[in-house]
Structure 1
Amino acid sequence: MFETPNVMRMAQDLARYSGARTSLIAKNIANADTPGYRARDFSSFAEALSSTAGGDLRRTRAAHMQAGSADASWRVVDAGGTPSPNGNTVSLEEEMVRATRAQSDHNMALAVYRGSLDILRGALGRGR
């Protein structure tokens, strides 16, 4: 029947990635004063997308993750940074930059999704 176009699926994956990344950034900020805490981030969205794009995965049960779903490939990585005297690597300035990038990615995903919906509506003869 009808399958979700790839551009819409990619926009949906980017929106989910950005939301999850924002949550991880918030955890980093909440632990900014925790001794020994290491700032974390996700691997890049492009890396997650490329690892699922060429896979030969097959979904054999409804409970399995869908092949090609980028969120199956998100890896939490150490965000790096210079440790403070208590061993904490969270930099509030760097976290704010990451949060701004995540928000920008999320806004872009929503714009692409809205644009795709407008194209589909136009193709069906139903303007805005």
Structure 2
Amino acid sequence: MIPFRTTAAALFAAAVLAAVPATAVAHDGSHPFENCTEAYDNGYRDIPKGDEHYGEHLDRDDDGVGCDQPPSGFVPRDESDDDAGAGAGGATEENADGTDLAETGGSDTTPYIAAGGAAVVLLGGGLMIAARKRRENR
């Protein structure tokens, strides 16, 4: 028989992990980017306030321009080929073999993932303590 606390803790951990929002794989161009990494991957930089891709979360220095510090390997999008999704992470002239690794960094989901991991660790620790106490009481 499984104790109520264990079941409740497992359900809580499952609910926390289910609450983690899914991240978008592609950007359809009609809303702000999730973060500057997504903007850079799609070939956008220096996004002015008022642009459809601008979001306050992209403008950390509050100067009215989002994503104004691109990485060293940034490749701007080809404006003549907007419908084909240029700059979306494929091989470029500089990266013909496609072996460069993706840029890493946090996003809006990082706190949720960290909270889910902490809940799982705490649940596991609680189960270990409960099992140890149960053995000692026999």
TM bracket (short chain): 0.3 to 0.5
TM score, norm. by length of structure 1: 0.41
TM score, norm. by length of structure 2: 0.39
Which of 1 and 2 has greater Rg?
2
Q: Which has the higher helix share?
A: 1
